[in-house]
Amino acid sequence: MSLSVMARLRLAVLGAALALPAIGAAAAHEFKSGPIEVVHPWARATPPAAKVGGGYAEIRNDGSEPDRLVSVTAEIAGRVEIHEMGMKDGVMTMRPVEGGLAVPANGSAALAPGGYHLMFLELKRPLKAGESFAGTMTFEKAGTVDVSFDVEPIGATAPGPGAGH
Sequence-separated (6 or more) residues with CB below 8 Å from residue 97: 81, 82, 83, 84, 116
Residue 82's identity, in one-letter code, is: I
Please report the pLDDT score of residue 9 as a whole number.
43
| Contact between 69 and 138 (Cβ < 8 Å) | yes
Please report the pLDDT score of residue 48 as a whole number.
93
| Contact between 51 and 122 (Cβ < 8 Å) | yes
Give the other-Cβ count within 10 Å of 29's Cβ. 22
From first to last of its 165 residues, the chain has per-residue pLDDT tens of 455 544 444 444 444 444 444 444 444 589 999 999 999 999 999 999 999 999 999 999 999 999 999 999 999 999 999 999 988 888 888 899 999 999 999 999 999 999 999 999 999 999 999 999 999 999 999 999 999 999 999 989 888 764 433
Long-range contacts (CB closer than 8 Å, 24 or more residues apart) made by 125-130: 125/76, 126/45, 126/46, 126/47, 126/48, 126/49, 126/50, 127/43, 127/44, 127/45, 127/46, 127/50, 127/53, 127/76, 127/151, 128/45, 129/45, 129/153, 129/154
Closest CA to 59 of 4, 1, 115: 115
Question: CA-to-CA distance for 141 and 139, rounded, in angstroms?
Answer: 6
Start-to-end Cα distance in the chain: 45
Question: CA-to-CA distance for 80 and 132, rounded, in angstroms?
Answer: 16
Please report the pLDDT score of residue 18 as a whole number.
43
Task: Enumerate the H helices of 29-104 as residue ranges.
Answer: none
